[in-house]
Amino acid sequence: MSATAGKNKRLKVLIRRSAIEKRVRQVAQAITKDFQGERVHLIGVLKGACIFLSDLVREISLETSIDFIAVSSYGKGKESSGQVRVLKDLDSSIEGLNVILVEDILDTGLTLSYLLRVLQQRKPKILRVAALLDKPSRRLKPVEGNYVGFTIPNEFVVGYGLDFGERYRNLKDVCILNPPVTP
């Protein structure tokens, strides 16, 4: 499959790659400004955030380090099971670090509220959240991102790291996937 929505009728472009590129640069600038003279430690939530993190970290003009955590909350479908499990933990301690948790999308907030609780126990100096996308209308837990790329309507989206049954992560644009299909 090509990395564009192309002629796939199930995909409708919601956010073009050029807009993503511009916004990621702005988010990185905001982080650079907020942490002037300090080091930031980015934690990407696998797998969805890997592409956002890769682009974001290269636009941050600070000393940075990265780590990844993998959680599962969705199984193979489009609805949250409400259960969060750590599949891969961090490689190193975050005690005393300026941590930015990097998420692909904030949806119900179940994943984020769980992760914030787990990470806070490990005593970071600061714990913030950067999310490429935010679907506030779906929120079940009162959590917010400190750095949000785009607020989007209640649609299921794929591309730029986001998947449906492991497909579509390589799309360069963020696209709405319709109608619902079994992966």
Which lies closer to ligand IMP via its Cβ, residue 12 or residue 62?
A: 12
Residue 32 or 170 having the CB closest to ligand IMP: 170
Which H/E stretch holds residue 83? Answer: none
Considering the complex, state which of residue 35 and residue 160 has its C-beta at the smaller distance from ligand IMP: 160
Q: Which of 55, 104, 107, 173 is labelled catalytic?
A: 107
Pairing of strands 39-46, 85-88: unpaired
Least distance in Å: CB of 63 to ligand IMP?
27
Closest approach, Cβ 71 to ligand IMP, in A, equals 8
Give residue for tokens 């609780």.
117
Nearest to 94, CA basis, from 73, 68, 71: 68
Give the interface with ligand IMP as residue ranges (CB under 6 A).
45, 48, 73-74, 80, 103-112, 156-158, 162
Query: Catalytic residue at 91?
Result: no
- Kindly state the smallest distance separating residue 93's Cβ from ligand IMP, in Å: 24
- Cis peptide leading into 47, omega within 30 of 0? yes
SS3 for 108-165, per residue? CCHHHHHHHHHHHCCCCCEEEEEEEEECHHHCCCCCCCCEEEEECCCCCEEECCECEC
Q: Of 98 and 111, which has the nearer Cβ to ligand IMP?
A: 111
**Contact present, 159 and 175 (Cβ < 8 Å):** yes
Least distance (Å) between residue 150 CB and ligand IMP: 12
Backbone angles phi, psi at 103, to 5 degrees: -115, 150
The residues assigned a catalytic role are 107
